[in-house]
Amino acid sequence: MAIALQKIRRKRGWTQGELSKRSKVPQPMICEIENGVTKNPGILTMHRLAKALRCTVDDLIEEDDNATN
């Protein structure tokens, strides 16, 4: 999820702060996810991030799966 979240966020041209405002997920949590500190964020967090980024939770997960293959 870390790679996908950062990639999709940057594609939108958003900072972590902007994503935080749009998703209502605290910016430190977004930072922890992107840096791999939090490897398994809760489903509510994932849903909020996906909704804000206009993608699916699967998109966030699949991106990381593809990056590791």
- Domain 2-68 in this protein, CATH class: mainly alpha
Helices (H), 1-69: 2-12, 16-23, 27-34, 43-53, 57-68
Domain residue extents for the chain: 2-68
**Residue 63: pLDDT band by 50, 70, 90 thresholds?**
low
Model confidence, pTM: 0.86
Query: Which residue's structure tokens are 């500190």?
Result: 37
pLDDT digits (tens, 9 = 90+) for 15-57: 999 999 999 999 999 999 999 999 899 999 999 999 999 999 9
* Cβ-contact 30, 16 below 8 angstroms: yes
